[in-house]
Structure 1
């Protein structure tokens, strides 16, 4: 029988699989960094106090991308092209989740409604990222090659999630509560579909690289579909609840720099 830890260990032990994994991760983080940078530049005057926090969020995402690329360099590997069907962040944008890139490329101030859309999108996707990092930190936090990177990224994701909770609650108190709940629900229900499809695509590529037996691949695909059904039945609600975090003003400082991993 296999577990999430054993599957990731297989990926970690194979250069081609690890190369694809890090390339997908680095690409997604780089896109997140760009999006946050543009949003920070276009924040409406009524929400200008958010700009430094959004900038910090983007800096963290850029840092994560550099970390994944450094992990590749450490093994003398280069980033590879990310298959379209595995590009989570691009597919979210293509399906209208979050703020459209066309809007972000224009030099026009965003609206408060846009900020609600951005924070709701971040609330959902940061929950997904935090959940993944909990698993990786538990299994590989003390790993000699990737443990330091995992621990740093996991800490940042905790900060991002806390920030989303706090800022959405602030906006809810300012009268945006119904819009926030509707946007969170719409975003979460769309995200779980995309996450399922991307997970199936990534596992398909890994199965080919690692030459998994058909039976093993079938079990993994079934597990991904079962997780989607559980999320569709109610698991998505963990992505839309809001509570004041213990860690307040989590993005109020300056971004930490990435240590040199290569």
Structure 2
């Protein structure tokens, strides 16, 4: 990594860490960021599972086993965040049901614009130059997957540790979340380790460093794209959560009794 990229990485990481810390500490914004984490962690399970099956079919049993464990860990992480939301009497909105129950009142062109806005500027920048077809689990180049995911897992381990460490321990709910995030951080470190080993199994040390440097630069660009989007955002970020079903039932019961 060159000095410029390193400097931008440090600045970008600091900015994102500060933003995430504010979001996770504030009880008003905490549910939304937890929901985002739950969706991201749980959403990666089918992708990793398919990759594991692909690796097995290609005869790479070592990688297949690592990917299967990775998928299992991500599923566990999603459950940790879901439990944390439940303790706050919140749950992730089922967007599929919401879409089915909503009458279409806008034109296709307007919907397309909404879709464009909803796409992550981070991942758009991170995978710039790649088509959606090239990033599907059955088609993605192994070096592309391993290199890009290594950087994400390595940084995620540090990010979750930072966020966990700024959480207070004044109540059981927050303390439980803190311990859960530290556990997730350890898993992310383990994921980064096996991905690094996977690179070393496939190429020379110099080639590994070139691949890491490429995805580090992409990550830096993606972080700044994300930060720029935050600064330019005019619309309020849509909520990803709703009151949990259990809390709604309890409220209805209390109302009926009253």
Q: Aligned equivalents of 1:99 and 1:144: distance in 2?
A: 42
The residue number in structure 2 matching 1:54 is 67
The structure number with the bigger radius of gyration is 2
2:217 to 174, 179, 189: 189
In 2 relative to 1, CA 65–167 (structure 1 residues): closer, same or farther, beyond 3 Å?
A: same
Deviations 1:24-54 (A, max 9, x none): 2122212322221111111153422210111
Deviation of 1:129 after TM superposition, in Å, equals 0.4
Aligned equivalent of 1:127: 154
TM-score w.r.t. structure 2 length?
Answer: 0.61
- Compare relative contact order (CA 8 Å, sep 6+) and give the higher one, 1 or 2: 2
Give the counterpart of 1:12 among 25, 28, 35: 25
TM superposition score normalised by structure 1: 0.60
Q: Cα distance 1:164–1:203, how it changes in 2: closer, same or farther (>3 A)?
A: farther
Change (3 A) 1:148 1:29: same
Say which of 77, 82, 86 aligns to 1:69. 82
The structural deviation recorded for 1:198 is: 2.4
How far did residue 99 of structure 1 move? 8.2
**CA offset at residue 169 of structure 1?**
1.8
Preserved CA contact (<8 Å) 2:125 2:221: no
Could you tell me whether the CA contact under 8 Å between 1:121 and 1:187 is conserved in 2? yes
2:181 pairs, out of 137, 147, 150, with 150
Aligned residue-pair number: 198
Q: 2:123 matched to 1:96?
A: no
Q: CA deviation at 1:152?
A: 1.2
Cα distance in 1 between the residues matched to 2:224 and 2:187: 24
Unaligned 5+ segments in structure 1 are 210-262
State how far apart, in whole Å, the 1-side matches of 2:159 and 2:131 are: 20
* 2:41 is aligned with 1:29: yes
Distance 2:79 2:35 in 1: 11
| DSSP 3-state at the match of 2:130 | coil
1:64 shift after superposition: 1.2
Runs of 4+ in 1 over 6 A off after TM superposition: none
How many Å separate the matches in 2 of 1:91 and 1:34? 23
Q: Per the alignment, do residues 99 and 84 of structure 1 end up closer, same or farther by CA in structure 2, a change over 3 Å counting?
A: same
Residue 143 of structure 2 is matched in structure 1 by 116
Gaps of 5+ in 2: 1-15, 96-116, 238-258
